[in-house]
Structure 1
Amino acid sequence: MTDETRTSALQILRTLVGSPTADFHEGQYEAISSLVDGHSRALVVQRTGWGKSAVYFVATLLLRQRGGGPTVLVSPLLALMRDQISAAERAGVRAVAINSTNAHEWGDVVAALERDEVDVLLVSPERLNNPTFREQQLPALVARMGLLVVDEAHCISDWGHDFRPDYRRLRDLIAQMPSGVPVLATTATANSRVVADIAEQLGGAEVVTIRGPLARASLRLGVLRLPDSKTRLGWLLSHLGDLPGSGIIYTLTVSAAEDTARLLRDAGHAVRAYTGQTDTGEREESEGMLKRNEVKALVATSALGMGFDKPDLGFVVHLGAPSSPVAYYQQVGRAGRATENADVLLLPGTEDRDIWQYFATASMPDQARAERILSALERERPTSTPALEALVDIRRTPLELLLKVLDVDGAVRRVQGGWVATGEPWTYDAERYSRIAAERVAEQQHMIEYETTTSCRMEFLQRTLDDETAAPCGRCDNCAGAWYPTAIAADAAASAASSLDRVGVAIEPRAQWPTGADRLGLPVKGRIAAAERPLEGRALARLTDLGWGGTLRELFAPGSPDAPASAALIAACVRVLAGWGWKERPAAIVTMPSRRHPQLIESVAAGLSQAGRLPHLGSLEYLKGGPEGEPGGNSAYRLAGVWGRIGVPDALADDLAGLAATKPDSPILLIDDLVDSRWTITVASRALRQSGAAGVLPFALAVVR
């Protein structure tokens, strides 16, 4: 790089960071030079806060000054895009985004690109396969692209397989680009295996890799092992106010985030829940409140992660451990980016392994399911995702993931109107997925070892990420002693116990028959008649809840023996009924037949019958051998599996007729063990309504989600 160019680069950097004395960190100069002067393909692996965004913003303006086209920045998260656009504006970079939340602005963005008024275009990896973008805008953009940036590039590797399959599409994009267009991949979390994989995706031996030490001197790491959820929440209630500044409390599930946020708010703490199910506008508002220190913490799932930029974030607490040191390092890297000190504490949970296993198996492509999709798709006529859902017994979320995997593999293609098969041969890569599964197991074990190590925790993370500069930090609890209090206030413990003992989750009634049910031979379509659908129901808890969820997970775990409900469980069910707030009190109880938990259901019915002085009229019956298929599943197929297979015995029908004569407005309480798709209780309620029940109030011990 010439002195003149370095001077220009330094001026841009100082404008970006807002300091007239700023200078390049070690490696930044080399990365910018390799892109601007060498037109190279570069991989930058540097710790969070090092300044990876400065590399691509400075390089962008330098390349634009030399007549280059706009930079295309592939960015995985909306929160990250928002922060990147804000940072670009500070540096005088004209940055715009095309994503799912600003469709009304796409026309303006395309027009600005055509006028060459855009320096950086931010897109998600999925946008690269949007038919309109791919066919109408991407070719022209590729032809004049000045720089391609792949942010959070670890997602291009196996580590990010279930997070964003579309990252694997970038290899094809790079192959289409004109020669001489520089490519930059950046990440803060990559071990040697991931680095090698990314380098191979970017062109192998031609890639310039700039890797720095991953130690974060500002972070004070610690692990506090507590016996159960009650004591972990009690600790948080006791000591959240003592943690420095504002921060993030990470949980492993949506329900844990919502429950924890509610508990902390009830105790007077200014916190908000932030999950993948939170409304986009509310998420933006919450991010802003945290940045302005208007809340003490956001209680978040991994939806708040990569790229979220609050330089003075004071702490990160984990209620439950992520499944790998890579994920953990990524999340704790939110803290202490521009402060001398930040506290990072892990409170591992006994349920962590079960949650890791659930997410690992739920996201892995399944060969039989993939082949069903390929058999259902035609080469010429597009099939929409809802229509395809009705042809294969796969729920929407895993169906969309499998379609992305098959699309990246070239077996299917997204077009206007849906999906088509390409006709290209496709083979399930069993070796690859077996390797991924084995690597995940190994990473989970590394996380357990991090929790239990007696050596330096920062050094452990560095070594796990293959950082050869790893050395003791002198600050973590193993190096310098426990820096966190361990006492739990009595009132905090009581509040946590009370919160975890909360019961009652709404079961919303199905109002619409599933799309495609008629194609499976079912005589239903459109809205479910009000006279046939159940009323709003209740469950004791979700399986993912921190409180009763643990008890219920044990009850419904594979291989758990059937047994009568405990007195505590029945008492909790009675509390659900006491707080229900129904318009009409039920007149009697009816139970669902159960293959796996007959004693459990009957004991709950007996307990509620006695407590509520409600007659137990008996059980429904299975017809034609009972329901087919697995619980949950695709809506149309699950409905088909229970349709015509649940009936009302004659004696029960007679009782319902008598009840209708004496209490014509009183509903029936229908008791089941587990609710997932809600089609079983929908069909059962319809049968009861057709036999004379004035209404049906479903009650279940647990809902799956």
Structure 2
Amino acid sequence: MSTVDERSFDGQGQGLDGQGQNAEGQRQGAGGQDRDGGGQDPARQEALGVLRELTRAPEADFHEGQWEAIRALVVEKRRALVVQRTGWGKSAVYFVASKLLRRAGAGPSIIISPLLALMRDQIEAARRAGVAAEAINSANSTQWGEIMGRLRAGEIDVLLVSPERLNNPGFRDEILPQLMATTGLLVIDEAHCISDWGHDFRPDYRRIRDVIARMPAGVPVLATTATANSRVVADIEEQLGVDSLVDGTGGEVFTLRGPLARASLRLGVLRLASPEARLAWLVDHLGDLPGSGIIYTLTVSAAQDITELLKRAGHSALTYTGGTDPEEREAAERALKANEVKCLVATSALGMGFDKRDLGFVVHVGAPSSPVAYYQQVGRAGRGTDHADVLLLPGAEDREIWRYFATASMPDEARATAVLTALAEGGVLSPPALEARVNLRRSPLELLLKVLAVDGAVERISGGWRATGRPWEFDRERYARIAEERVTEQNAMLEFEQTSQCRMLYLTNQLDDPTGQSCGKCDNCAGPWYSTTISEEAKALAGGATARVGVPIAPRAQWPQGMDRLGVPVKGNIPPAERALEGRAIARFTDLGTGQSLRALLAPDAPDQEAPAGLVQAGIRVLADWGWTERPVAVAYVPSRRRPVLVESFTRAISEAGRLPFLGALETPHGGPSSQPGGNSAYRLADVWGQFAVPEGWAAGLAEHRGPVLLIDDLVDSRWTMTVAARELRRAGAEAVLPLALATPA
């Protein structure tokens, strides 16, 4: 007789090995009832019947805790939190509960789910199990009317929505009230996103607290996650227990926590000396890993570069990042599930809930910033198999990447105050209009707006955002604690890399799982299971990949909105006669090879110096591979406050190597821009506007050397320095401008 886990919803009814064990090799109980569903509890008998219908397995039975969770929802109409490892069967709980509640006359279940990929998997699983499921998200807005019609007609059992929909004005004001008035069960999947202590906090998830408070009395609520430590559990419980605005009820939450160890996973950490060595290991040993799997990277550029390297080495691989087109993402998911590729090389965009039961391995090139985030990602593997390999290849650059993302996502009091002031003065403003008033880039600006909206200080309406006028104070102490916790998590990840303890036990301890024990199979328990040899051929191939240089720099074609507010008299399109051509950077800071040496060379505390020979050679290779339609006829540079020797010496070396006339540096009549990093387009443009001028003596040279001018700068980020400098050169007579930067951040 078999028990049921999430794999049982494959339409085959084949969840276990027929011996009362799941793929993790653990005995599963039946919630204290008879294994055949007899006993004296008719509610459990009915639930078991539904389970067997859904799984098409006549002998299926519940995992320990599944019936308890279902009973809390269906019989007791409680608010429940389920913290169980990936593969335990959390979806079985809410699908069975949904069917039971629907039989009793309740409305459809609403599942709040954070990712489109996860929604697709959940809908497919529901439909295979005979549960009528649909989704409302940004990808199917044209179908919302039809879906709502089917909801009203009672044709849908489960509706999935993304948390971002909760603050979409049309959805929030027109659709959400209808859903909440009729729903029979609210499910919050990946509930650790509720908590700003969680590894993947999302401000929109905080709105769920308000949704729960406005729900009709007696509607059960289920929150599920596989990655929550005690601090996150307490935070979720507090939000689930919010008092109802309808009848004042709330209070205690039923919490079910199970063991989180994943017996199918064989963990390991392999520390290699360089990016080239890590890539060479992949080239040599990817084929040794079982089945198909995922290679995680910390940056988009690393994912793209590794994919190309593996393809050149003869491996089948596809890239999956936040920048991948939605259609390509979906095609990549299908290819991996069908084992048509050996791996997807992915960022965290392929994370929560991606469901491939037989995923054979997960490799990380670069470590996530916390053990909890790492546990969540490796949990993609071994969900329906007895064995899967998990290997971490950490890098020296990991900590700097962690620091960048942690800083970018943390709210700032001064900027929050500036946003509130701008909205109070400007009324309803769109994000582009706000950028002309607040020096914040789009992504952190939108994140800050979400945080302020959750706090009730602003609200999103048709046409943009507006201040609510409610009092707001920056919770300095809270954000300081969160920042401190992030550092603690990073240190814990470094300790995971170095520990001699069982690696699975270390991870489950980080999740405050009291049942953890040594796994007996990781590299610390049983010795290294992976090869450490690297062939010369792989080293050469990887060395060529990390030595590759040349990153396209797209020219700016349009001025930011609202520049007149900042004293810059431009708007609309940049005239073609004043634009730069497409440029090049030697490398990105996030590149695994040249990018690492450039990051060190251009670090804020790095000494100014003559251009190293290797940098000059890299610049020459970029010029040789450029593929321009017309060769440059002269070379100039943007003066640098921080690295004047480096930039001038590099420009002179390129001039000599290419036998190009050396024009020198542009003038800075007002002292030059402030050169402060960060900020949005509008403020970055205002900072450089009017700061560059073409020396009078260049007129004759530009007239004599008819053709493109190569313009060199140390770092290209917003591209406005190059845009404004190129405009000055074009207006002074240059036929074209080819920007060349030593580096770009990403």
Asked if Structure 1 and Structure 2 have the same fold, meaning a TM-score greater than 0.5 normalized by the shorter chain, the answer is yes
Matched with 1:676 is: 717
Q: Is the 8 A contact 1:508 1:537 kept in 2?
A: yes
SS in 2 for 1:646: coil
Paired residues for 1:332-371 under 5 Å = 332-371=378-417
CA distance in 1, matches of 2:651, 2:48: 74
Task: Encode CA deviations 1:41-80: one digit per residue, 9 max, x unaligned.
Answer: 1000000000101100110010010011111111000000
Could you tell which deviates more after superposition, 157-166 or 476-485? 157-166
Superposition pairs of residues 344-423 of structure 1, within 5 angstroms: 344-378=390-424, 381-423=427-469
**CA offsets 1:670-703 (integer angstroms, 9 cap, x no match):** 0000001111101100100111111000000011
1:109 shift after superposition: 1.1
Instruction: Tell me, yes or no, if structure 1 residue 591 matches structure 2 residue 591.
Output: no
Question: Map of 1:226-241 to 2, 5 A cutoff?
Answer: 226-241=272-287
SS of the residue corresponding to residue 552 of structure 2 reads: strand
- The 8 Å contact of residues 379 and 423 in structure 1, kept in 2 or not, is answered as no
Q: What is the Cα deviation at residue 91 of structure 1? A: 1.8
- Matched with 1:75 is 113
Contact preservation (8 Å) 2:121, 2:354: yes
Report the CA distance shift for 1:438/1:2 in structure 2 as closer, same or farther (over 3 A).
farther
1:100 to 135, 138, 141: 138
Query: 1:160: how far off?
Result: 4.2
Counterpart residue identity of residue 690, structure 1: R
* 1:145 CA displacement: 1.4
Distance 1:162 1:464, change over 3 A: closer
**What SS does structure 1 have at the residue aligned with 2:543?**
helix
- 1:443-482 deviation line (CA, Å, top 9, x unaligned): 1111111111111111111111111011111111111111
Deviation digits for residues 262-296 of structure 1 (CA, Å, limit 9, x no counterpart): 10011110000100000000000000000000000
Could you tell me which of 22, 43, 59 is aligned with 1:5? 43
Can you list the C-alpha shifts for 1:646-669, whole angstroms capped at 9, x where unaligned?
Answer: 10111223322332xxxx3x1100
Which residue of 310, 320, 323 maps to 2:356? 310
| d(CA) in 2 for partners of 1:21, 1:326 | 35
Tell me, in whole angstroms, the C-alpha distance in 1 between the residues paired with 2:372 and 2:642: 39
* Aligned partner (choices 42, 47, 56) of residue 94 of structure 2: 56
* Larger deviation, residues 397-406 vs 386-395: 386-395
- Any residues of structure 2 matched to 1:323-338 within 5 Å, and which? 323-338=369-384
The equivalent residue for 2:233 is 195
CA distance in 2, matches of 1:217, 1:274: 28
Provide TM-score, normalisation by structure 1. 0.98
Aligned-pair distance for 1:541? 0.6
Aligned to 1:164: 202
- Count of residue pairs the alignment pairs up: 700
**SS of alignment partner, residue 201 of structure 1:** helix
Contact 1:13 1:91 in 2 (8 A): no
Q: Which range moved further: 2-11 or 363-372?
A: 2-11
CA distance in structure 2 between the aligned counterparts of 1:453 and 1:703, rounded to whole angstroms: 35
Identity of aligned residues (%): 67
* Contact 2:198–2:232, Cα closer than 8 Å, also in 1: no
2:672 is matched with: 626
Mapped partners of 1:632, 1:336: distance in 2: 41
Match of 2:125 in 1: 87
Write the mapping of 1:683-702 to structure 2, written as runs, cut at 5 A.
Answer: 683-702=724-743
> Is 1:467 aligned to 2:513, yes or no?
yes
Offset, 1:12: 2.7
Residue in structure 1 matched with residue 27 of structure 2 by the alignment:
none
The reply to whether residue 500 of structure 1 matches residue 546 of structure 2 is: yes
Cα distance in 1 between the residues matched to 2:194 and 2:273: 38
Q: How does 1:123-202 map to 2 (within 5 A)?
A: 123-160=161-198, 163-202=201-240
Give the conservation status (yes or no) of the 8 Å contact 1:275–1:301. Answer: yes
What's the offset of the Cα at 1:540? 0.2
> What does the per-residue CA deviation read over 1:168-216, in whole Å, with 9 as the maximum and x for residues that have no partner?
1111111111221101000000111111111111117510011100011
In structure 2, the residue matched to 1:602 is 648
- Contact residue 675 and residue 700 of structure 1 kept, 8 A: yes
SS in structure 1 opposite 2:459?
Answer: strand
TM-superposition CA deviations, 1:151-181 (whole Å, max 9, x none):
0000111134864111111111111112211
- Indicate the residue corresponding to 1:425 in structure 2: 471
1:398-547 aligned at under 5 Å gives the runs 398-547=444-593
Contact 1:69 1:119 in 2 (8 A): yes
Instruction: Report the Cα offset of residue 254 of structure 1.
Output: 0.5
* 1:414 match: secondary structure: strand
Matched, 1:570 2:611: no
Alpha-carbon deviation of 1:390? Answer: 1.8
Q: Deviation at 1:388?
A: 1.4
Partners of 1:315 and 1:415 in 2: CA distance: 45
How far residue 519 of structure 1 moved from its aligned partner, in angstroms, is: 2.9
What is the distance in 1 between the residues matched to 2:598 and 2:679?
21
Contact 1:670 1:696 (8 Å CA) reproduced: yes
* Counterpart in the other structure of 2:368: 322
1:24 paired residue among 62, 68, 73: 62
Q: TM-score, normalised by structure 2?
A: 0.92
The CA distance in 2 between the partners of 1:574 and 1:326, in whole Å, is 44
Where structure 2 has 5 or more consecutive residues not aligned to the other structure, the ranges are 1-38, 243-250
Q: Secondary structure at 2:420's aligned position in 1?
A: helix
Q: Is the 8 A contact 1:248 1:317 kept in 2?
A: yes
Deviates more, 1:337-346 or 1:519-528: 519-528
Asked if 1 retains the 8 angstrom alpha-carbon contact of 2:692 and 2:725, the reply is yes
CA–CA distance in 2 between the matches of 1:327 and 1:270? 27
- Written as runs of structure 1 = structure 2, the 5 A alignment for 1:629-644 is 630-644=676-690
**Secondary structure at the counterpart of residue 424 of structure 2:** coil
Q: Identify if the C-alpha distance between structure 1 residues 580 and 629 changes in structure 2 by more than 3 Å, giving closer, same or farther.
A: closer
Q: Tell me, yes or no, if the aligned pair for 1:315 and 1:343 is still in contact at 8 Å.
A: yes
Q: What is the rounded CA distance, in whole Å, between the counterparts of 1:437 and 1:702 in structure 2? A: 29
What letter is aligned with 1:674? L
1:35 and 1:183 in contact (8 A); partners too: yes
Alpha-carbon displacement from aligned partner over 1:297-349 (angstroms, at most 9, x marks no partner): 00000000100000000000010111111100000000000101000011111
| Amino acid aligned to 1:197 | D
Residues 479-503 of structure 1 show CA distances to partners (whole Å, capped at 9, x for unaligned) of 1111111100110011001100001
Structure 1 residue runs without a partner (length 5+): none
For residues 336 and 714 of structure 2, the distance between their equivalents in structure 1, rounded to whole angstroms, comes to 41
Contact between 1:639 and 1:680, CA under 8 Å: does it hold in 2? yes
Q: Which amino acid aligns with 2:662?
A: H
Inter-partner Cα distance in structure 1 for 2:144 and 2:687: 44
